[in-house]
């Protein structure tokens, strides 16, 4: 039977692994549609005029198919690009300044608006949120920041005058108030602003056009208005304590404190001069100077018979701003006429029989008059007779086809928390886009797909089901209306976008063992280190040495090469010990470690050697800090030994095949094998729940859950794999590569404290066993490179974790969704079915594991381990060969009590955790 150390050397060899929307920029469409619009689908849009104007100024763009998609919701990077173009901002691409997940076409604009401090930062986020939709209040806040008066907004005491003012966020109240007073926003006919509603592209066009046309007026008026709010109280007048706000609509006719005798109502925003009225203020009458007819076709006589068709138009002021109806002179008259006497004076069809043949051109005239304001001007227009001319808003149009306007779907990591949604257009018999308000009232649009990703409304319901980048998703959209007898379906395809997966770390510990002719050579050290450079050319690794290696004087050349690695690359020195708690008492452990340090100094730093100092603190302190051991690689360790290393050698980083396991002869007890954590002072298998019980030691594993034995088999809990696993039948690196891919494509990466894999490699065994060396080389060559992976040593990895965790376990978490590989072992029934998926969740308080076969409808809870249970059991130092399993068992432990019932409070904790992860699939309640 192999000794503990020999078993360690054979088993630890390769213990693998632990804590293992782009929208193409809309292309500008220069060719006009048949209606004279820049885009083919804005005919019915209320923002038709603004969209056309902004498109011709190249501030907004459409899509490759010639559409604008006015009803589509706009996301933050799209809106940021529009804002940047509106303001004339532009900056060259600067990777340091561009937030993550911003599409390349948007980078210069987003970077520019970020530099100008225009966008808000998303709540509880550290990023721009490029693919997130933008709310109406957020968009207004952006444009108010453009005015440069942000530092003066706190002078505002009143709230906006909207019926839904209580829905406006506290941070947005001042901006919305100012925007309303400036006339930038008006609200709907019910006096609602709908601040939390998402902004669509046509709405963005309307607000952007106002800013683009009148930004300097807005700036001046905003500054004047806010300065007027700074007036000191009138000492003579006892009330009100502040001068009346001339902008607020409560006073019926407030006197102007600056020019109190104007003949016309004074402009409350810019009180000098009294004439002319400011076009921005909502109260004065605006004088139209031009008219734009927004209708280009007229239906044929047959189509027009009995219809409610009317000429659509808009009136504009001297700044070419569209004037709302409530701002026009009360005696204004608009009169239409045409050369066929078809139209009535109000623009309706009066004589349907006079409409000429299809394709004929009708010359028209619209006259605008106001006696009060001395207005009298006319403009001509043309109409083309069209058999499928515009429809009345009261008409219901029946769709006959649907065009899906979305071709890609973000990767799972990108989709997490995003507001991505399928975009589509419903078309009538003539191929025209049908606005939502003209569709049948009972129309239903239902989406589905072959990966169960989409909800019925086309949102992403289950982002974690999105397959790998480049995968194709087959979808179906079904359109039904009982009232109109409509029922048809169309298929579509989505391609998963490529995306970066965030920072990935890989902790490497290379074991140097044995002595003399059996010791790892310099050539082997160089070769194995070079193999990892294909993953990270700037790698740093830990070289963990056992007692036999540091004891032999013949290893002095290898030790000198190791010191060169430290000087040249920043590599780390570590200690390796196999089954310490079974082989040593605490006093024996102390003697073993002191001897390690004494002989390491003797052979690596001969000039520092002082005889008869073994066990004295001076040995450790005399070694230059860069060369001191900084971690322990091991199979298992108990609390006393770990604390001894911290107290005597300042070692607080522990990694191994079972560093979080308490071993007695066999791997008999398990803690958290997924995430690094600060351990409990009495039990390294349990994360510390408070600072009082925090040992100050960080534990991490070099094992992986899956792909072998993901289902518990009696006598074995094989959630592990490494390239030389004696139970793995496959003699290649394919199982390891499949497992690595599970970690790298983990849909929950963005929620994890740290994304890492780790590897412990027995250099002798790997480099001197041909198939193992070939497997390692294959693994390196085919390592998934969808993200930049930083290779680090054990201590460096723990330092990164310290920074991320803030010194406690309070906020740490790790979640991994993975699938079995389909590989089997020589144990036969110990399989990892490819149709089985797992969801493994770790926090400081609990470990929860769910599993589900593809054909099952519900997930099953196979583990709930409560780390917060008190008191924490104190582990015995040694069992002297006993193999009893002493895992930290609570609730439903997948090893020992896989079918234990869960209490209602435990189920509540499971459901709360799943809710926080946006997990929407059904779970069995045991």
pLDDT tens, 219-235? 888 888 888 877 554 44
On whether the CB atoms of residues 438 and 391 are closer than 8 A, the answer is: yes
Max CA distance (Å), the chain: 119
pLDDT band for 47, please (50, 70, 90 cuts). confident
If phi over 0 gives left and psi between -120 and 50 gives alpha, with beta otherwise, what is residue 845? alpha
Cα dihedral 878, 879, 881, 884 sign = negative
> Is the pLDDT at 280 greater than 60, yes or no?
no
Cα dihedral 256, 258, 261, 262 sign = negative
DSSP code string of 484-505: TTEEEEEEEEEEEPP-----EE
> Is the pLDDT at 43 greater than 70, yes or no?
yes
Predicted local distance difference test score (pLDDT) of residue 730: 61
Among 268, 368, 279, CA closest to 323 = 279
Residue 866, classed as helix, strand or coil, is strand
Q: What is the pTM of this model?
A: 0.60
On whether the CB atoms of residues 415 and 330 are closer than 8 A, the answer is: no
pLDDT band for 580, please (50, 70, 90 cuts). low
| CA distance linking residue 837 with residue 37, whole number of Å | 51
On whether the CB atoms of residues 838 and 747 are closer than 8 A, the answer is: no
Residue 666, classed as helix, strand or coil, is strand
> Is the pLDDT at 504 greater than 70, yes or no?
yes
> Is the pLDDT at 267 greater than 50, yes or no?
no
| CA distance linking residue 873 with residue 683, whole number of Å | 7
| CA distance linking residue 165 with residue 181, whole number of Å | 14
What value does the mean pLDDT of the chain take? Answer: 78
Tokens of 610: 């002082």
Alpha carbon distances (Å) from 138 to 225, 740, 888: 22, 40, 49
On whether the CB atoms of residues 343 and 337 are closer than 8 A, the answer is: yes
| CA distance linking residue 219 with residue 139, whole number of Å | 17
Q: Residue 796 contacts by C-beta under 8 Å, 6 or more apart in sequence?
A: 507, 540, 572
Residues in the chain: 926
For residue 199, give the DSSP letter: P
> Is the pLDDT at 173 greater than 80, yes or no?
yes
For residue 659, give the DSSP letter: T
| Four-point Cα dihedral 201, 206, 208, 211, nearest 10 | -170
Residue 444 host element (H or E) = strand 444-449
Predicted local distance difference test score (pLDDT) of residue 429: 80
Strands 836-843 and 813-819 turn out to be antiparallel
Strands 375-386 and 297-299 turn out to be parallel
Region 197-218 average pLDDT: 89
Residue with tokens 């607000």: 207
pLDDT digits (tens, 9 = 90+) for 365-400: 999 998 888 888 888 888 888 755 444 445 678 888
pLDDT digits (tens, 9 = 90+) for 677-720: 898 888 777 889 999 999 999 988 644 333 223 333 344 334 44
> Is the pLDDT at 133 greater than 70, yes or no?
yes
| CA distance linking residue 502 with residue 778, whole number of Å | 24
Tokens of 110: 């987003």
On whether the CB atoms of residues 878 and 582 are closer than 8 A, the answer is: yes
pLDDT band for 35, please (50, 70, 90 cuts). low
pLDDT digits (tens, 9 = 90+) for 414-462: 787 777 888 888 888 877 778 787 889 899 999 999 989 999 999 999 9
Predicted local distance difference test score (pLDDT) of residue 880: 47
Among 757, 760, 751, 824, CA closest to 789 = 757
Residue 752, classed as helix, strand or coil, is coil
Predicted local distance difference test score (pLDDT) of residue 148: 87
Q: Taking the CA of residue 338 as centre, how many other CA atoms within 13 Å lie in the half-sphere pointing to its CB? A: 25
Predicted local distance difference test score (pLDDT) of residue 330: 85
Predicted local distance difference test score (pLDDT) of residue 888: 65
Predicted local distance difference test score (pLDDT) of residue 316: 82
Predicted local distance difference test score (pLDDT) of residue 29: 41
């Amino acid at each position: 039977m192999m000794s503990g150390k020999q078993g360690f050397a054979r088993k630890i060899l390769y213990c693998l692994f632990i804590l293992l929307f782009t929208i193409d920029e809309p292309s500008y469409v220069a060719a006009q549609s048949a209606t004279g619009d820049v885009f083919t689908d804005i005919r019915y849009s209320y923002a038709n005029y603004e969209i056309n104007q902004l498109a011709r100024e190249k501030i907004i763009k459409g899509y490759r198919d010639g559409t604008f998609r006015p009803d589509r919701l706009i996301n933050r990077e799209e809106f940021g690009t529009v804002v940047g173009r509106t303001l004339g901002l532009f900056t060259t691409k600067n990777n340091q300044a561009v937030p993550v997940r911003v599409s390349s076409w948007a980078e210069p604009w987003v970077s520019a608006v970020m530099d100008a401090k225009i966008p808000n930062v998303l709540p509880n986020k550290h990023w721009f949120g490029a693919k997130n939709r933008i709310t109406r209040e957020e968009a207004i806040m952006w444009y108010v920041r453009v005015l440069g008066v942000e530092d003066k907004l706190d002078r505002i005491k009143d709230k906006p005058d909207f019926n839904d003012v209580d829905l406006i966020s506290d941070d947005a109240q001042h901006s919305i108030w100012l925007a309303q007073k400036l006339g930038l926003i008006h609200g709907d006919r019910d006096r609602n602003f709908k601040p939390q509603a998402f902004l669509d592209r046509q709405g963005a066009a309307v607000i952007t056009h106002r800013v683009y046309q009148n930004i300097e007026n807005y700036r001046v008026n905003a500054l004047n208005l806010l300065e007027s709010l700074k007036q000191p109280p009138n000492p003579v007048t006892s009330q009100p304590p502040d001068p009346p706000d001339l902008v607020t609509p409560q006073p019926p006719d407030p006197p102007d404190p600056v020019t109190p005798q104007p003949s016309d109502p004074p402009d409350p925003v810019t009180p000098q001069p009294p004439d002319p009225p400011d076009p921005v203020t909502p109260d004065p009458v605006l004088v139209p100077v031009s008219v734009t007819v927004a209708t280009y076709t007229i239906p044929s006589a047959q189509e027009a018979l009995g219809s409610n068709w009317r000429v659509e138009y808009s009136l504009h002021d001297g700044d070419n701003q569209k004037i709302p109806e409530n701002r026009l002179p009360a005696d204004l008259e608009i009169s239409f006429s045409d050369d066929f006497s078809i139209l009535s004076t109000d623009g309706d069809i009066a004589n349907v029989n006079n409409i000429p043949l299809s394709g004929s051109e009708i010359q028209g005239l619209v006259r605008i008059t106001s006696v009060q304001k001395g207005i009298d001007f006319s403009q001509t227009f043309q109409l083309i007779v069209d058999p499928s001319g515009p429809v009345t808003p009261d008409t219901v149009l029946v769709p006959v086809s649907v065009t899906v306007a979305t071709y890609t779907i973000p990767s799972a990591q990108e989709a997490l928390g995003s507001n991505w949604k399928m975009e589509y257009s419903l078309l009538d018999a003539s191929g025209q886009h049908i606005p939502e308000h003209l569709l049948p009232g009972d129309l239903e649009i239902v989406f589905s797909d072959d990966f169960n990703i989409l909800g019925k409304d086309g949102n992403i319901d289950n982002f974690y089901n999105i397959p790998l980048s480049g995968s194709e998703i087959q979808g179906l959209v079904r359109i039904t209306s009982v009232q109109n007898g409509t029922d048809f379906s169309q298929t579509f395809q989505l391609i998963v976008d490529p995306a970066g997966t965030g920072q990935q770390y890989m902790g490497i510990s290379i074991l140097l063992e044995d002595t003399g002719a059996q010791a790892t050579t310099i050539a082997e050290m160089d070769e194995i280190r070079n193999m990892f450079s294909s993953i990270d050319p700037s790698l740093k690794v830990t070289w963990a040495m056992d007692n036999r290696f540091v004891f032999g004087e013949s290893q002095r050349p290898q030790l000198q090469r190791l010191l060169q690695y430290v000087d040249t690359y920043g590599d780390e020195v570590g200690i390796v010990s196999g089954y310490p708690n079974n082989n040593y008492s605490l006093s024996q452990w102390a003697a073993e470690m002191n001897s390690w340090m004494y002989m390491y100094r003797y052979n690596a730093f001969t000039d520092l050697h002082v005889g008869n100092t073994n066990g004295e603190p001076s040995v450790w302190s005399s070694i230059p800090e860069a060369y001191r051991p900084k971690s322990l690689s091991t199979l298992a360790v108990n609390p006393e030994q770990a604390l001894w290393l911290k107290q005597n050698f300042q070692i607080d980083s522990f990694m191994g095949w079972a560093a979080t396991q308490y071993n007695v002869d066999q791997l008999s007890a398990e803690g958290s094998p997924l995430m690094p954590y600060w351990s409990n002072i009495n039990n390294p298998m349990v994360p510390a729940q408070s600072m009082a019980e925090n040992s100050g030691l960080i534990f991490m594993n070099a094992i992986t859950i899956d792909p072998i034995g993901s289902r518990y088999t009696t006598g074995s809990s094989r959630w592990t794999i490494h390239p030389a696993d004696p139970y793995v039948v496959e003699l290649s690196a394919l199982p390891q590569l499949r497992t690595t891919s599970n970690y790298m494509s983990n849909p929950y990466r963005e929620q994890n404290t740290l994304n890492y894999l780790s590897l412990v490699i027995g250099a002798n065994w790997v480099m001197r066993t041909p198939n193992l060396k070939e497997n390692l080389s294959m693994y390196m060559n085919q390592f998934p490179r969808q993200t930049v992976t930083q290779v680090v040593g054990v201590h460096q990895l723990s330092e990164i974790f310290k920074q991320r965790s803030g010194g406690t376990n309070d906020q740490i978490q790790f979640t991994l969704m993975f699938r079995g590989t389909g590989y089997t072992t020589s144990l036969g029934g110990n399989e990892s079915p490819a149709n089985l998926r797992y969801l493994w969740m770790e926090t400081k308080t609990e470990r929860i594991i769910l599993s589900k076969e593809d054909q099952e409808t519900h997930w099953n809870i196979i583990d709930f381990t409560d780390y917060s249970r008190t008191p924490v059991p104190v582990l015995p130092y040694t069992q002297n060969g006993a193999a009893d399993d002493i895992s930290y068992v609570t609730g439903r432990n997948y090893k020992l009590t896989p079918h234990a019932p869960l209490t209602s409070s435990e189920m509540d904790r499971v459901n709360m955790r799943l809710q926080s992860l946006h997990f929407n699939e059904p779970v069995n309640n045991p």
